[in-house]
Structure 1
Amino acid sequence: MELWHGSPEIVWTPLRGLCRPYNDYGPGFYCTPYAELAREWACPQRGKDGIANRYELDLGGLGVLDLEAEGCSVLTWLAVLVSNRPVQVSSPIARDGMEYLRRVFGIDLEPYDVVRGYRADDSYFSFVRAFLNNTLSVAQVGRAMRLGGLGSQVMVRSELAFGRLCFRGYETVPACEYYPLRMCRDASARRAFQDERAAADLDGLYIRDILREEVGPDDPRIR
């Protein structure tokens, strides 16, 4: 599997011990199968060129969790996210909703070597907070995530997977070209969020409904 990692620098040998603990899916090395996306990620600052690092990952024998697969709902992704990233909640329903997601929809990542799922930067985290505060339905979160187009990420998390990750080269990424593309993608995600927040989903399933009805992973309304 070909993977790309956008960074300000060349990452010859990713090290598990240097990974930050509070990322989307916990400590790991975050990549994407899409070269163009990595080029945008490499340029978070105007006027500062970045590096798109290319790797090969041998998936043979590795445990892979795909949070975008058929059997996973958006609530599964949300549960993994709030289990790994700190979330400031300001209401009892948001607090109870977060705990319910962790308990009912959460997945133990320990058996998995690699995790694939949606990317959750600040734009997507707005979706999470709005959902927990009962202002976005499950369907609206799903639509906003798809329309926002922030893309997929692949996280290499186990020592076994790190050992299978082989550096294959890099390219310098011009910020003059890719920083505007990154900002455009971010603006698209924010517009999708604002559009969904402005709409009324009168028949939608909200966090208050999930708590009251004790909705579980097999409920057809979350698919």
Structure 2
Amino acid sequence: MAQQITIYHGSDHIIEQPIYGAGNPHNDYGLGFYCTESLDLAKEWGVSDETDGFANEYALDTAGLSLLDLNRGDYTILHWLAVLLENRTFRIAGDIAPTAKAFILERFAVDYRAYDVVRGYRADDSYFSFASAFLNNALTLNRLEQAMALGNLGEQVVLLSEKAFGRLTFRQAHSAERALYYPRKIARDDEARSIYRTELKVADLADSPTILSIMQEDWRSDDARLRRIVFE
């Protein structure tokens, strides 16, 4: 990561000074300040069906900050899923899912709280349909990877530590018109749901490992069968 990067936070109001410790602890990567390097994506996040919004622009000085990049290196989609399962709240149903959740948290947990900044793929509520199907043994690992990569929901840059908040400088706020950006936001969600329906229709539980076979074979995070880079 470059020493200084430009990031944006979508909101219904201007935020010149983000507050460390504020926010929703049940977001993808827990309590933090959620940003993106895409101005257009931040504008989508900032609008609703009723109101315009803003993309707040910041400079982040990353010198001396520790970065966890879940889209590169030694991490896999199961590490990413473990972080989401730790933070996001959604209904776990079925006979297999509770055991599958416990297995993923035990085998693929990531000590993300030891880092100042996390970069990773974004999940919204529609994408938890994929996670639920995988945990219930209705979607294979390959299909889960393909579906998530096709979703085009973008990467997040999340500030976790007080040190990272202290390296943030507000530049300006870009207005976001709901008439333009809300339809784009809905289109992304519709695309995700369409991919989900398609993947379930074509899912062949023999074409790659399922969570049941992964548990039966006791896969570990260093298993050679796991893809190291999923979201390119």
In the other structure, the counterpart of 1:208 is 212
* TM-superposition CA deviations, 1:101-138 (whole Å, max 9, x none): 11110111221000111111111111111110111111
What's the TM-score once normalised by structure 1's chain length? 0.96
Whether 1:191 aligns to 2:194 is yes
Cα distance in 1 for residues equivalent to 2:50 and 2:86: 35
- Contiguous gaps of at least 5 residues in structure 1: none
Q: What RMSD in Å do the two structures reach over aligned CA positions?
A: 1.1
In the other structure, the counterpart of 2:115 is 112
In the other structure, the counterpart of 2:25 is 21
Shift of 1:87: 3.1
Whether 1:152 aligns to 2:151 is no
In the other structure, the counterpart of 1:85 is 88
Shift of 1:209: 0.7
In the other structure, the counterpart of 1:48 is 51
| Contact persistence 2:70–2:119 (CA under 8 A) | yes
| Contact persistence 1:4–1:55 (CA under 8 A) | yes
What is the number of equivalent residue pairs in this alignment?
222
Which shifted more, 154-163 or 200-209? 200-209
- Contiguous gaps of at least 5 residues in structure 2: 228-232
SS in 1 for 2:90: coil
Whether 1:122 aligns to 2:128 is no
SS in 2 for 1:52: strand
What's the TM-score once normalised by structure 2's chain length? 0.92
SS in 2 for 1:115: strand
Cα distance in 2 for residues equivalent to 1:19 and 1:81: 16
Which shifted more, 20-29 or 198-207? 198-207
Cα distance in 1 for residues equivalent to 2:97 and 2:155: 26
Cα distance in 1 for residues equivalent to 2:115 and 2:185: 30
Give percent identity, aligned residues only: 45
Higher helix share: 1
| Contact persistence 1:47–1:176 (CA under 8 A) | no
Whether 1:57 aligns to 2:60 is yes
In the other structure, the counterpart of 1:135 is 138
| Contact persistence 1:6–1:50 (CA under 8 A) | yes
Shift of 1:221: 2.3
